[in-house]
Chain A
Amino acid sequence: MTGQPGTNRTLIWFIVLVVFVLLLALASILTGGQRISGVAPIGVTAVGLILVFGVYLLTAENDAWAVGTREVVYMAIGAALYGVFNWIFNTIPMPSVSQVALRPSVCIPIFFGYVFGPVVGFFTGAVGNILGDFLTGWGVFPAWDIGNGLMGMVPGLVLLFINKRRSLNFLTILVAVLILLTAGLIFINPEVVGPWTGEIESFQLWAWIFMVGGAVVIASRFVLERFSVDMAAVNLWGTLGIIVGIGFASIADIWINGYSFATAIIGEFAPAAGPNIVNSMILTPILLAAYEAVQARTGR
């Protein structure tokens, strides 16, 4: 992705995607939004890709996006590890606590993204998921492969900041703004169709839940930071990565498989993201501490 030809190619793809989305939007307006609805999933995927491209184009000069020999090898090792662990922990009979399955492999894309950058993280998650599915015989599911890739890419964005404390400040502001926006939107329009009953319900309670949840996340940042900036950063960026990655795949299934929003959240997002966050918050810091110890010893 470095150098002029790579950037030009990315720009061309960016323009193609923008034109594609504009054409879809135009067709949607001309047909009253009904007839074009069948290709909506492609449009949604394209908008997602434009957002990722946008982040890349804005920060293209940053070293975090560089891909040299080192990154190529870590991409391969990360993907192979993620694939093998996915297969192993699906094969070995593991105990589980309550509804929380033990999925330790999730720490691999997050760790590789956080340490080696967003490109390595994305590749580790996406190709590792393909590899794991190949080993178990599950098949190829593009939305989930991209979702796993995002899970590794988002923690890698920490390298775009001058230091990790500054990245935490950015995350704190982002969480606060998003929570306030969501809560504000709910307060402005509190009555919507309930996903369970189909009747008009008030969702004001959710606005308060969002605000309390946001306050807990922001407080945990400051608590974890007292122990180590790295621990706070890897946990918060990792959690964001899981929410974005699993969220993308679950929401995509609303169009791909025709799920309701409630099905996507209750059936896919919650059972996948919840255990992944717990597993990642425990194992990724251990892995990071071991890596830093080895790095200090070998000097590389």
Chain B
Amino acid sequence: MLIAWRYRDRDTIIQRLDPRARIIFMLAMLFSVVQFWDLRIMLVFLGIAFLQYGLAKLTWQETRRVWILVSMLILIMTTLTFITGRGGVQYAYHEEHVITQLGPLSLPVVGWTLALTITAEKTIFAVSQLVRMYAITTMAITIPYTVDPSLYGVTFRGLGLPDKFAYAMDLAFRFVPTLGRDFSITLDAQRARGYEVEKLSGGLIAQIRKLAPLLVPVTINAIVGAEDIIDAMDLRAFGVGPRTWVHRLTYQARDKVLIAISAFIFAGSTVLSFLGVGNLWVPRAFLRLAGG
């Protein structure tokens, strides 16, 4: 079983940016977009996210599977919210203009009555939610394809994570291929004994229990092997002084510009939100549809 990172060196403007600046940008975008429900503002954020995606030169072929899964999830969740209400964002709108009403439908056994009132505000809220989720996802999806896994430790160290945690992160990324190979060997060994992971039989508990022959040997083997690593690190006086890193990250002018833009977007969004700008916007056409 070959474990391959999604990351490829593409020599793009996005990959030339410092990963720390990119993480800061992503978080600033996330915390900014969640402050609005105005579809027009949301579309601006979606545009920025797609601009990053385009500049990263990611192809449909590479990301197709993820897009299909993410789109299914987003559509299900948006539909569920459309049916069930607004939850934590009750303030998004106070008045509703009814377009049409479905039901009431009485369920025969439980006796529940289901009714769905479709309003202009509810519909636009669902569209805004869809756009918001796509904006956040597009921003997040770009990261695994464009940030070198070997830079993660030093990136988080640069963002203020303590040495030991950053080192553990670096080590975790390095263990992945080894553990993938161990899993492959274990799977082959179990298959040679007639174990077929694709054809587990029995009830729920039996099926889960039958996964133990794959999971337990790989985990216990890794823990036993860890003792040697601990000894080797202790003998080299790990953690006694500050660490140095193989890779060194230095902010270039373009990174500083990106951080400044991130700070500006977040601060601007917070001020606008505080001033009451960016609440749910309902196009007049929708209100006319509702006879409002």
Contact = CB atoms under 8 A, between A and B. Distances in A.
B203 to A, nearest CB: 7
Given A260-B87, A294-B220, A80 B278 contact: no
A262 B85 contact: yes
B91 A37 contact: yes
Contacts of A294: 220, 223-224
Interface string A196-223: 1110000000000000000000000000
A5 B120 CA distance: 56
A48 interface: no
Contacts of A40: 88
Contact of A81 (B88, B179, B205, B211): B179
A182 interface: no
A35 B276 CA distance: 5
A87 B3 contact: yes
Residue picked from A254, A256, A257, most chain B C-beta under 10 Å:
A257
A20 interface: no
Contacts, number: 272
A140 B80 contact: no
Given A38-B35, A198-B85, A256-B34, A287 B140 contact: no
B89 A258 contact: yes
A104 B274 contact: no
Contacts of B172: 75-77, 79-80, 83, 127-128, 131
Interface residues of B, number: 103
Contacts of A68: 239
A259 B81 contact: yes
B211 A104 contact: yes
A300 interface: yes
Q: Could you tell me the dominant secondary structure of chain B's interface residues?
A: helix
Residue picked from B63, B115, B204, B220, most chain A C-beta under 10 Å:
B204
B114 A197 contact: yes
A140 B183 contact: no
Contact of B220 (A92, A279, A290): A290
B175 A77 contact: yes
Contacts of A256: 30, 34, 136
Interface in B111-134: 112-115, 125, 128-129, 132-133
B46 interface: no
Interface of B: 1, 3, 5-7, 26-27, 30-31, 34-37, 62-63, 65-66, 70, 76-77, 80-81, 83-89, 91-92, 112-115, 125, 128-129, 132-133, 136-137, 139-145, 149, 162, 164-165, 167-176, 178-180, 183, 197-200, 203-205, 207-209, 211-212, 214-216, 218-220, 222-224, 226-227, 229-230, 233-234, 238-239, 269-270, 273-276, 278
Interface of A: 1, 6, 27, 31, 34-42, 67-77, 79-81, 83-85, 87-88, 92-95, 97-98, 100, 102, 104-105, 107-108, 111, 123, 127-128, 131, 133-142, 195-198, 254-264, 266-268, 278-279, 282-283, 286-287, 290-291, 294, 298, 300
Given A35-B276, A41-B31, A83-B172, 13 more contacts: A37-B91, A38-B270, A84-B176, A95-B198, A107-B215, A111-B219, A123-B165, A131-B176, A136-B6, A195-B85, A262-B87, A263-B87, A294-B223
